[in-house]
Amino acid sequence: MKAKDTLNKLSININKNLKFSTLKDIFFKGFKPVLRIKVLPTVLINLFMLLKTTAVSKFYWGRGGLYKKALHGIVLLITGIVVFSGLSSRLFGLNNSNIIQAYNPTIGNVDLLEQGGGLQTIIPADPNVTFSVKQYTASNGDTLQSVADKYRVTKDTIKWANPDKFGTYTAYTSEKINPGDQLSIPEISGVLYNVKSDDTLDTIISKTAGDKFQVVEINGLEAPDYSLKGRSKLLIPNGSIKAPNAPPSSIPVAVYVRRTVTAGDISTGGLGSLNGIAFSNPLSDPDCRGYGWSRGFGYQANGFFHDGVDLPKGGGCPVRAACTGNVEIAGWQNGGQGFNIRINCGNGIQTSYYHSNGDMAVKVGDHVNKGQFIMEMGCSGNCTGTHLHFGLRLNGQFIDPSPYVPY
């Protein structure tokens, strides 16, 4: 009743002050006082009080009806706004400046990923989406930087993916590429790692400074064991491996006495042993299948004495210790050997492994077992192609390894 009384009183006050007879009177007698702010404050205040009183009355006394409907209506409205905004962002697109699209040629557009970084941090949305490696043939005018810019990867990414071309200190630092060179280029920056038979996910991550989550996702590895079975390569996003070591400037160059050893100088125990020392094939790793033989022990046509055998493999492969013993040399050595390892097998026997790409798994003083991985094949030092130069010495003198080492 108070609301009705207020409205009636407001109407009486307006009628007393405003008497209209013509349109002219309506304008001058109606709007003019309003414009002079004589009636407007009273009208607005009374209207506000009327609306407030009515609203409070309806919502409080009618909370079983209007109140409940209004509350439900507000909730539904908010829900509708949220749902519509989410659908519209999917249907009509998002801000392309922050989107990286994961793409696979076999299944098409799999999803849109909102990423904060650049292409280097992309992780496929689907575990079945694996990375790709492009093959590029260098042409005149190409530089390592221009090729890296073309594919939006770092120079080191290309170096790590092509150890046969950048595995030596000189090649790594000069960054020279020649027309016709075939380069493998991963789709994102990181390490394209050649999986070895004794590798695990943890050992690879340790070697390459990778992030386990990213490695698992981009390579589609399956929990819980993250098996590497059937994997020949892994891509380590944003990973890194050490560059080949610079040749030491002060290391003494060993001087070897080379001669051909006759059967009377040694006691043989049949193929695979010498002086009681058993040997295994240094290229017995499954990844070395298909290696060849290019040069043997002895004097060559040009008069050069070759103190071992050359076993080439395109792209390189893991090299394993041919005997059990202690590591005497592991690193760069002048004289053409490049990065190399020498193992003292005991009983006057030493085995040598030349031309590593610099990826060495042992150091001086280590004890190694026959068949243990020790280094990666490469082309460092004096070399005309990726291969292992394998040497065998008896009492400090090189001998032909062919009758004793089953390579």
Show me where the domains of the chain are located. 2-89, 105-237, 257-399
Q: State the pLDDT at residue 391.
A: 94
Mean of the pLDDT values across residues 62-89? 68
Candidates 1.10.1200.120, 3.30.450.20, 2.70.70.10, 3.90.1150.10; correct CATH number of 257-399? 2.70.70.10
Inform me whether the pLDDT recorded for 100 exceeds 90. Answer: no
CB 376 within 8 A of CB 362: no
Q: State the pLDDT at residue 287.
A: 87
Q: State the pLDDT at residue 119.
A: 32
Q: State the pLDDT at residue 299.
A: 75
Position with higher pLDDT, 128 vs 321 = 321
Residue-averaged pLDDT of the chain = 74
pLDDT-based confidence at residue 87 (cuts at 50, 70, 90): low
Inform me whether the pLDDT recorded for 3 exceeds 90. Answer: no
Decide yes or no: CATH 3.10.350.10 for domain 105-237. Answer: yes
Q: State the pLDDT at residue 32.
A: 52
Mean of the pLDDT values across residues 374-379? 93
Closest to 360 in 3D by CA, of 335, 383, 377: 377
Q: State the pLDDT at residue 369.
A: 95
Mean of the pLDDT values across residues 397-402? 88
Q: State the pLDDT at residue 342.
A: 96
Position with higher pLDDT, 15 vs 301 = 301
Closest to 248 in 3D by CA, of 337, 141, 184, 370: 337
- Alpha-carbon span 362 to 376, nearest angstrom: 11
Q: What is the pTM of this model?
A: 0.42
The answer, yes or no, to whether the previous bond of 237 is cis (omega within 30 of 0) is no
Among 98-102, 304-308, 336-340, the range scoring the smallest mean pLDDT is 98-102
Inform me whether the pLDDT recorded for 250 exceeds 50. Answer: no
pLDDT tens by residue, 330-372: 988 877 889 999 999 999 999 999 999 988 999 999 999 999 9
Q: What percent of the chain has pLDDT over 70?
A: 66
Inform me whether the pLDDT recorded for 94 exceeds 50. Answer: no
Q: Classify residue 257 by burial, with Cβ atoms within 10 Å: 0-12, 13-18, 19+.
A: exposed
Q: What percent of the chain has pLDDT over 90?
A: 23
Closest to 394 in 3D by CA, of 349, 332, 353: 349
Q: Classify residue 196 by burial, with Cβ atoms within 10 Å: 0-12, 13-18, 19+.
A: middle
- Enter the tokens of residue 64: 């079983």
Mean of the pLDDT values across residues 163-169? 82
Task: Produce one character per residue of 11-25: b if its CB has 16 or more CB atoms within 10 Å, e if not.
Answer: eeeeeeeeeeeeeee
Inform me whether the pLDDT recorded for 317 exceeds 80. Answer: yes
Q: State the pLDDT at residue 268.
A: 40
Task: Produce one character per residue of 141-160: b if its CB has 16 or more CB atoms within 10 Å, e if not.
Answer: ebebeebbeebebbbbbbbb
- Alpha-carbon span 37 to 33, nearest angstrom: 6
Q: State the pLDDT at residue 5.
A: 59
- Alpha-carbon span 324 to 220, nearest angstrom: 38
pLDDT tens by residue, 12-49: 554 444 444 454 555 555 555 545 555 566 667 777 77
Q: State the pLDDT at residue 283.
A: 92
pLDDT tens by residue, 192-234: 888 887 888 888 888 888 888 888 888 888 888 888 888 888 8
Position with higher pLDDT, 313 vs 111 = 313
Which amino acid makes up residue 174? S
Q: State the pLDDT at residue 323.
A: 95
